[in-house]
Amino acid sequence: MLKKTILIVLFFITLIACKKNTKPVEISNQTVTEIPLNYAKGFSISATNQYKILTISNPWPNADKVYKYALVEDSILPKIALNRNEFDGIVTLPINKIVVTSTTHLPGLELLNAENTLVGFPGTDFISSEKIRALVDSGNIRELGKNEGINTEVLLATQPEVVVGFGIDGKNKSLETIKKSGIPVIFNGDWVESSPLAKAEWIKFFGVLFNKEQQADSIFNRIKTDYLEAIKLAKNTQTRPTILSGAMHKDIWYLPNGTSTEAQLLEDAHINYLWSDSKGIGSLSLNFETVFAKAKDADIWLSPSNYTSLESLKNGNPHHATFKAFETKNIYSFTNTTGATGGVLYFELGMTRPDLVLKDLIKICHPELLKNYDLYFFKRLE
C-alpha cells in the first residue's frame, strides 16, 4: 500500500513538473510559400504552416529599409516561439480594432466589409464614404488630428490592435510613439506604385490583414478585368483628342510627367497627352509661356488643380482663359465630387478603382464608346 502511495505521489510530482516546464515550441526550417501578386512591387505576402508574413519593401520613395510583419492567429500565438527580432511587428489576428491614416486606405476596409473595425482616423472631414461617414457621425470613429501630428493620447485610448501608417520619409514622430507603446505600425506604400493596377492591388494588403485573401483577390480581379476591357474599348476609335492638364500656381504650371500613373491612364484611354514623352519623378514644373505654346489649342483640359468653376479658374489667373479648352468649356475636374463634409471622392477611391477613372476619361474623350455610362468622379466645370 505504501509503495502504491509513493508511486501516485511521484506521478503527480512528475506531471506538475512537466506542466511548469511547458514552453512554446519554436518551429524551425519552416516552408515559406510566396503568394503571387500581379502588378504591385511595394509589398509581398508569404505563409508558413504557422503564420503569414507581410513584407513592405517600398513604403515611400527611396526607402532604405524593408519592413517585415508576422500575422499570427491569436489561438496559435501562445503555442509558438517567434523570433521577435526578425520582425518589425507581430499582429494578432483577427483584427477587431484598427486605425488607418490615409483616405486611400478606406476603400480597402469598405470593400472587404471591415469598416466597422475602424476606430480612429486623422482628418475625418476628408472621409467621403457614406458608410464610414455614418460611423464617424455615430461616434464609433474618433478624430485623431493630422497625419503629421496624430493625437497619440486619443489614439491610444481607442486601443487599436494595429495602425496602418502613411509616410513620405519615415520620420513621423507620432507613429514612432505609437510603436513604442507596443502597437504594431504597418507602413502602407500604395501611392508609390508606378501603375494604376499596381496601386489597386494593394487591396490584397488589407485582405491578408483581415483573413479575407480570397475576397480581396476576387475584388481585384474584377477591377483588373474591367480596366483591361476598357483599354480594348478605347482602341476602337481612331480619334485621339489632345489633352492639357494642371494649372498655374503663382508663376509655375504643375502637370503630370509622362511616366506618372496619371499619364498612363491617359494613354490607356487612347488620348494624346501633350507631355506624354516627358520623364521624371513628381510633377512637371513649367512656366506659362511653355505650356501655352504647346497646349493653347488642346481639345480638352483635365484636372485644372483645385479650381471648381470656370470663374474661379479665370480669377486664379487670367491667362487660364486664353486656352481654346476654356473658350469651348471643355474642362473637367474631379474636385466637385465630394462627400458630405467636403472630402474629394477621387482622392479616396480613385486609386483603388482605376477602372472607374479610366471609364470616366473614355466617356469624356470618346463619348460615343460609352453612351450609357455616367461620369463617376469627373464633372465639367460650369
Q: What is the pLDDT of residues 157-166, one digit of tens each?
A: 999 999 999 8
215 and 240 belong to one structural domain? no
Instruction: Kindly report the backbone phi and psi dihedral angles of residue 190, in degrees, each rounded to the nearest multiple of 5, phi listed first.
Output: -55, -40
| Burial group, residue 241, by CB count within 10 angstroms (0-12, 13-18, 19+) | middle
Q: Is 253 in the same domain as 198?
A: no
User: What pLDDT does residue 29 have?
Assistant: 52
If asked whether residues 255 and 193 sit together in one domain, one would say no
Per-residue pLDDT of 353-362, as tens digits, reads 999 999 999 9
Q: What is the pLDDT of residue 300?
A: 98
Do 86 and 204 have their domain in common?
yes
Long-range contacts of 116-123 (CB under 8 A, 24+ apart): 116/140, 117/210, 119/158, 119/159, 119/160, 120/144, 120/154, 120/155, 120/158, 120/160, 122/146, 122/147, 122/150, 123/147
- Residue 26 counted as domain residue: no
Task: Please check whether residues 134 and 171 belong to one and the same domain.
Answer: yes
Regarding whether 241 and 209 lie in a shared domain, the answer is no
| Residue 186 domain-assigned (yes or no) | yes
Last-in-domain residue among 166, 197, 223: 223
Are 180 and 256 in the same domain?
A: no
Clarify whether residues 186 and 37 are in a common domain.
Answer: yes
Residue 104, pLDDT score? 97
Residue 231 lies in a domain: no
Whether residue 42 sits in one domain with residue 151:
yes
Residue 16 domain-assigned? Answer: no
- pLDDT-derived band at 19, boundaries 50, 70, 90: very low
Residues 217 and 250 in one domain: no
Residues 217-257 pLDDT 10s: 999 999 999 999 999 999 999 899 999 999 999 899 999 99
CATH number for the domain that contains residue 304 = 3.40.50.1980
pLDDT digits (tens, 9 = 90+) for 71-130: 999 999 988 888 888 999 999 999 999 999 999 999 999 999 999 999 999 999 999 999
Last residue of a domain, one of 175, 197, 223: 223
pLDDT tens digit string along 26-77? 444 567 888 899 999 999 999 998 999 999 999 999 899 999 999 999 999 9
Checking if the pLDDT of 22 tops 50, the result is no
SS3 121: strand
Q: Examine residue 12 and state whether it is found in any structural domain, yes or no.
A: no
The answer as to whether 203 is a domain residue is yes
Contact yes or no for 51/73 (Cβ under 8 A): yes
pLDDT digit string (tens) for 294-349? Answer: 999 999 999 999 999 999 999 999 999 999 999 999 999 999 999 999 999 999 99
In a domain? residue 229: no
Residues 65 and 191 placed together within one structural domain of the fold: yes
Last residue of a domain, one of 223, 257, 272: 223
Mean pLDDT for all residues in the chain: 91
For 255-287, how does the pLDDT look when each residue is reduced to its tens digit (9 = 90+)?
Answer: 999 999 999 999 999 999 999 999 887 799 999
Domain count, the chain: 2
56: domain range?
33-223
The predicted model gives 18-23 an average pLDDT of 38
27: in domain: no
In this structure, the answer to whether residues 184 and 299 fall within a common structural domain is no
Q: Give the confidence band of 17 by pLDDT, cuts at 50, 70, 90.
A: very low
